Amino acid sequence: MSADVASLPARRPGIVRVFAILLRSPVGATGTLIVGVVLLLALVGPQISPHDPIKGNLRARFKEPGYSDASGAYRLGSDQLGRDIVSRIIAGSRVSVLVGVVSVLISGTIGVFYGLVSGFVGGRLDSLMMRIVDGLLAVPFIILVVAISGVVGAGLGTLILILGLTGWVTYARVIRGEVLKVREQDYVIAAYALGQRRLVVMLRHILPNVISSAIVLAAVQVGVTILAESSLSFLGLGVKPPTVTWGLMLADGRQYINSAWWMTTFPGIAITVTVLGVVFLGDWLRDFLDPNVRGRG
């Protein structure tokens, strides 16, 4: 059997079967539903928002959930400037999705190739690269992000870059460990025996067989990144007004928590449910992409 044939991945289930497997998993189905709703809100938010999320209405300040007037209904209440909570939660979903997805793409790309090179080359270079990773992992992620944000300043683009450039180390360690296992497989040894170049072996035979671990990790890291963005915005180190984020909504409502509980409760629920949905989806992906677990299912 040639190395090309031996290196082919196992047959993937068709899209219909994937959905059938997904629907049989309460965790996976719940996670997919939550993530799908958040993505839908992020995509069509401006078209379905009942009010302008930035423009205030001083006659509708601190209105409880269910209030309505000539300007429309405030189903989840309004804030200190009379802005609709529903509209602001919808607007905040756009920022959360943007920050989560783009920063994870940046960190995932860097981390995957860093870990791929480290594990594939081995030797002293591997040891040096892993010592760098160990040093960065010794510093708690959120502390590192807060420190950098305090130095370079706030802003949406800056925040995405910071989260992307500080989150790659986890991918690097995981992918490096996977590469160390895969590079000893028979199909990789056969590829060398057939005279294929090291770069070809790394990109064609090893990378496709470790990428599933990166996909699972990326799903979980999206939730971590959304939490980090909300935390930084809450502390005043993230996105600045008038951009709407769930973290800023929490910051706005904390001083009114006793008299206007809805200002913090509903954004907090949005963060919690979204992160749980991402974690549920990541948990299902981990099992689905593991042939041993899927085989038992």
Distances (CA, A) of 203 to 109, 114, 116, 173: 14, 13, 9, 18
| pLDDT tens sequence across 8-41 | 444 555 677 777 888 888 889 999 999 999 999 9
| pLDDT tens sequence across 124-168 | 999 999 999 999 888 887 787 778 877 877 788 888 988 898 889
Q: Name the nearest CA neighbour of 52 among 246, 263, 242.
A: 242
Q: What is the dihedral of CA 108, 112, 113, 119, to 10 degrees?
A: 160
Q: What is the pLDDT of residue 13?
A: 56
Q: How confident is the model at residue 291 (pLDDT cuts 50, 70, 90)?
A: low
Residue predicted with more confidence, 259 or 142? 259
Residue predicted with more confidence, 64 or 5? 64
User: What's the rounded Cα separation, in Å, for the pair 135 and 95?
Assistant: 31
CATH homologous superfamily for 12-54+87-296?
MetI-like (1.10.3720.10)
Q: Mapping DSSP to helix (H, G, I), strand (E, B) and coil, where does residue 173 land?
A: helix
Q: Name the nearest CA neighbour of 211 among 174, 186, 185.
A: 174
Contacts of residue 225, defined as CB under 8 A and 6 or more positions apart, other chains included, come to: 99, 100, 103, 104, 163, 167
Report the 3 state secondary structure along 84-133: EHHHHHHHHHHHHHHHHHHHHHHHHHHHHHHHHHHHHHCHHHHHHHHHHH
Residue 244 has pLDDT above 80, yes or no: yes
Q: What is the pLDDT of residue 289?
A: 79
pTM for the whole structure? 0.84
Q: What is the pLDDT of residue 85?
A: 96
Q: Which residues of 74-85 are buried (b: 16+ CB within 10 A; e: fewer)?
A: bebbbbeebbbb
Residue 263 has pLDDT above 60, yes or no: yes
Q: What is the pLDDT of residue 12?
A: 52
- To the nearest whole number, what is the mean pLDDT of the chain? 87
